[in-house]
Amino acid sequence: MKIFLIGFMGCGKSTLGRKLATKLGYDLIDLDHQIEKNTGLAVGDYFSTHGEEAFRKLESETLQAFNYPKNCVIATGGGTPCFFDNIDWMNANGTTIYIEMPPTALAKRLESGIAKRPLLRNLTPEGVLEFIESKLAEREPFYTKAALVMSGISLTADDIRAEILARN
């Protein structure tokens, strides 16, 4: 089974994905890392060199052409479900889980990593919360197409595992 974790930057996709994969004995595929491996560029550098549009194409191609093992957890990028037909493709090819978190919590969790995030790095600390609020509102229609929506506040890999087992 393929489990796609989706949600805004900072909601915990990579960390929860790693823990969930370990608990299930599945492989973890981190989409951003995969893109970095393929291009030899950090996502932030890819954005600066080639721009967001090129990144979105590459992200979608990587998502949809990857040779996935039978059982795996995929930590997607925050924008992945919101471009092309990516969310429909993920829903057709696995179980999607939206890790939901309010903007204030996201802003707090992203505070120390602003410089690394291409979409945040030109914002002032005050501008970050405002950006998250509007971007999240724009993205929520895509995120909520997920098969499962779970609150990310104090969410554990065990909670996700239990929810998946209950469904299958």
With CB under 6 A as the rule, give the number of residues binding ligand S3P.
11
State in angstroms the smallest separation of the CB of 30 from ligand S3P: 8
Nearer to ligand S3P, 18 or 117 (CB): 117
State in angstroms the smallest separation of the CB of 165 from ligand S3P: 26
Sheet holding 72-75, edge to edge: 27-30, 72-75, 2-6, 95-100, 148-151
Q: In the chain, where do the E strands start and end?
A: 2-6, 27-30, 72-75, 95-100, 148-151
In sequence order, the β-bridge partners of residue 75 are 5, 30
Residue with the two structure tokens 């037909």: 85
Contact between 119 and ligand S3P per CB under 6 A: yes
Contact between 78 and ligand S3P per CB under 6 A: yes
Residues 6+ apart with CB under 8 A from 6: 13, 76, 80, 81, 87, 90, 96, 97, 98, 99, 143, 146
- The site string for ligand S3P over 5-34 (x = CB under 6 A, - otherwise) reads ----x---xx-----------------x--
Q: Does 94 carry a binding-site annotation?
A: no
Q: Which residues are annotated as a binding site?
A: 10-15, 32, 56, 78, 117, 139
Sites of contact with ligand S3P (CB under 6 A) = 9, 13-14, 32, 43, 77-79, 117-119
Q: Which residues are annotated as a binding site for ATP?
A: 10-15, 117
